[in-house]
Structure 1
Amino acid sequence: MNEQRSDEQGLRNLAPEHALRRLELTVTRRLDGLLQGDHLGLLPGPGSDPAEGREYVAGDDVRTMDWNLTARMTAPHVRDRVADRELETWVLVDATASMDFGTGRLEKRDLAVFAVAAVGFLTERTGNRLGAQIVHHDRMRRVPARTGRAHLLGLLGTLLSAPRSPAGSGDASLGAAAELLHRTGGKRRGLAVVVSDFLEPVESWERPLRLLGARHQLLAVEVVDPRELTLPDVGMLTLVDPETGRRREVPTAGRKLRERYADAAVRQREEIAAGLRRAGATHLRLRTDGDWVRDLVQHVLAQRRIAKAAPPPGGAA
């Protein structure tokens, strides 16, 4: 655990080339061996192109039966499908002021970089194209989709070197960024990954994400810090809204106040989860005080089980 913590902390204190090298080693070393298979993906699917037919063997999914081939050969046959290999992935990364916060092992913005790195290294192995749109306090920066390790490291370097948003500066909208990505992202169906704390009002981003999800597979990575969920008993606490600069003194010794805060935080996270479901997104929550690799691997394996159990396109229900 101490080695993990030392790997994850202090990236921004290193020279850019050293930070990128440590980031790559941390992600690839911790993922290596955990996700097996020729085609590693965050939202794997069964593929849509038919492959060769073959005779049915015990254990085959009956939903893959090819009845025409079965009738011709007078023996049960199934038809495999070719997994979709060439995938264009777009990541929409929230780099606004609310991400410059963290009381766990790392800040939310650093956890967002690790999430993007995991997506990038998983998809880069199979030659997929990766592009990004970064939402900052005063602008949206677009990184065109390209292949290759050098491109991925350049994108990660851009995220690591992104300046912090000044308090009270106002921020670009996540919903507006999703709308822009919907208009300018690849026309071919691919994977869209939105990495954010989703603290903007749900109604501001739900519809744009739904439009984005209508074209692409949509993964929402929600980045959470434990202090956003519970309020500690530390006496008088000065809270600053990073996006507006407003300051407020909060007497945290009151038990009822802490309970109201925790209840409000639960309701907020429930609203975010409900909004993401309505948008058609697959939801992955990562915490700054948790094991993000474990959570990522569990999510991928769960999605693979769902994909394996789903009927093939055009197959029998």
Structure 2
Amino acid sequence: MARAAAVTPADPHPSSGTRTALSPAGAPRSEAVLSRLQLLVTRKLDGLLQGDYAGLLPGPGSEAGESREYRPGDDVRRMDWPVTARTTMPHVRRTVADRELETWLAVDLSASLDFGTGRWLKRDVVVAAAAALAHLTVRGGNRIGAVVGSGADPQAPTGRRRGAVPPPGPGRLVRLPARGGRRETQGLLRAIAGTEIRPGRSDLGALVDALNRPPRRRGVAVVISDFLAPPQQWARPLRKLRVRHDVLAIEVVDPRELELPDVGVLPVVDPETGELHEVQTADPRLRRRYADAATAQRAEIAAQLRGAGAAHLRLRTDTDWLLDMVRFVAAQRHARTRGTTR
């Protein structure tokens, strides 16, 4: 039962009429959903993040610039000792004021995200969270970009003979360059919402590591996923990302990944491998073992995120994700005003 939370009911959409679909097949509807998301975010979250990120306040700045010779009155803390040693003349390092914020999203749209038994699909919550962050940050010259990961790329070479079924690959990554402006942001969100979810397992570690290359100036990095991949796959890239950037990890969870209902024999399928099993949910011991395994799994995810120094926000498909984001942003703002970061 170690991976109990990775399997999902074979028919996960018994009441799909109550959900909002953001799939490529419903492109016109997804446009309306994105517009509605923009209105909701503007009303409830607008202004909560103003002044929260480092480097935007007036002053000399912290980004390294060119060196010049020392002049009387210069701050000795800005001495450029390597250049001073080479030239035998005292030099100071100029700094460039950072007037804009660059935010990068790592959006996981692997097969396990195409599931949901609550008000939303997990995929919808991922897109909604990306939309909220985009509308919050793209202002005042700020830029936002994204790296989107889906399942195995069917065009990727596998080294097998012709006609053989390709095995699950590391996944397909699509990089959307960072741009500013409302129109560009809407284009980025449309590209995320229109991403096709492919079968096979994606590599969450490779997705996170894509934000480390090429190296960028200090900014904000947001990883949106269900984090069902083994922690040893993504924990180290996340710690590496935290060295230079402020990192926010948004974990998307469905209630059926935490506990099983008592509905008799329930067919479940692993969306990433296609394996189908029948589970007797009337057994209370099985349901208890499933819940215990799911609790341990989520505790391990939270511990790895905490160890990486990332802020952790959990969104569920059966609750008001926007209200959860409002509470999280308000708590972060309160923590910063009290002189703490987490």
For the residues of structure 2 that align with 1:163 and 1:231, how far apart are their CA atoms?
29
> CA 1:293–1:163 in structure 2 vs 1: closer, same or farther (change >3 Å)?
same
Q: CA deviation at 1:152?
A: 1.3
**Which of 263, 288, 304 in structure 2 is aligned with 1:275?**
304
For the residues of structure 2 that align with 1:309 and 1:196, how far apart are their CA atoms?
30
For the residues of structure 2 that align with 1:14 and 1:201, how far apart are their CA atoms?
31
State which drifts further: 24-33 or 302-311: 24-33
**Which of 186, 199, 202 in structure 2 is aligned with 1:172?**
202
Q: Is the 8 A contact 2:103 2:221 kept in 1?
A: yes
> CA 1:6–1:298 in structure 2 vs 1: closer, same or farther (change >3 Å)?
farther
> CA 1:50–1:23 in structure 2 vs 1: closer, same or farther (change >3 Å)?
closer
TM-score by length of 1: 0.79
Q: Is the 8 A contact 1:101 1:107 kept in 2?
A: yes
Q: CA deviation at 1:11?
A: 4.0
> CA 1:238–1:8 in structure 2 vs 1: closer, same or farther (change >3 Å)?
closer
The equivalent of 1:125 in structure 2 is 139
TM-score by length of 2: 0.73
SS at match of 2:302: helix
Equivalent runs, 1:23-62 vs 2, <5 Å: 23-36=34-47, 40=50, 44-45=52-53, 47=55, 49=57
Q: CA deviation at 1:172?
A: 2.6
SS at match of 2:145: strand
Q: Aligned partner of 1:165: which letter?
A: R
Kindly, what percent of the aligned residue pairs are identical? 50
Gaps of 5+ in 2: 1-15, 60-96, 154-171
- Deviations, residues 74-95 of structure 1 (Å, cap 9, x unaligned): xxxxxxxxx9751000000001
Q: Aligned partner of 1:150: which letter?
A: R
> CA 1:279–1:238 in structure 2 vs 1: closer, same or farther (change >3 Å)?
same
For the residues of structure 2 that align with 1:210 and 1:116, how far apart are their CA atoms?
22
Verify: 1:111 aligned to 2:111, yes or no: no
Gaps of 5+ in 1: 52-82, 313-317
> CA 1:84–1:270 in structure 2 vs 1: closer, same or farther (change >3 Å)?
farther
- After TM superposition, which residue ranges in structure 1, 4 or more long, deviate above 4 angstroms? 5-8, 46-51
Q: Provide the aligned C-alpha RMSD in A.
A: 2.6
The equivalent of 1:153 in structure 2 is 186
> CA 1:263–1:7 in structure 2 vs 1: closer, same or farther (change >3 Å)?
closer
State which drifts further: 127-136 or 13-22: 13-22
Q: Aligned partner of 1:181: which letter?
A: L
Q: Is the 8 A contact 1:136 1:165 kept in 2?
A: yes
For the residues of structure 1 that align with 2:297 and 2:135, how far apart are their CA atoms?
32
SS at match of 2:129: helix
Verify: 1:239 aligned to 2:250, yes or no: no
For the residues of structure 2 that align with 1:30 and 1:147, how far apart are their CA atoms?
18
For the residues of structure 1 that align with 2:115 and 2:230, how far apart are their CA atoms?
19
Q: CA deviation at 1:18?
A: 5.0
The equivalent of 2:103 in structure 1 is 89
Count, aligned residues: 271
The equivalent of 2:220 in structure 1 is 191
Q: CA deviation at 1:19?
A: 2.4
Q: CA deviation at 1:153?
A: 1.3
The equivalent of 1:220 in structure 2 is 249
| Greater percentage in helix | 1
For the residues of structure 2 that align with 1:178 and 1:105, how far apart are their CA atoms?
28
Q: Is the 8 A contact 1:229 1:265 kept in 2?
A: yes
**Which of 15, 31, 40 in structure 2 is aligned with 1:20?**
31
SS at match of 1:91: strand
Q: Is the 8 A contact 1:202 1:275 kept in 2?
A: yes
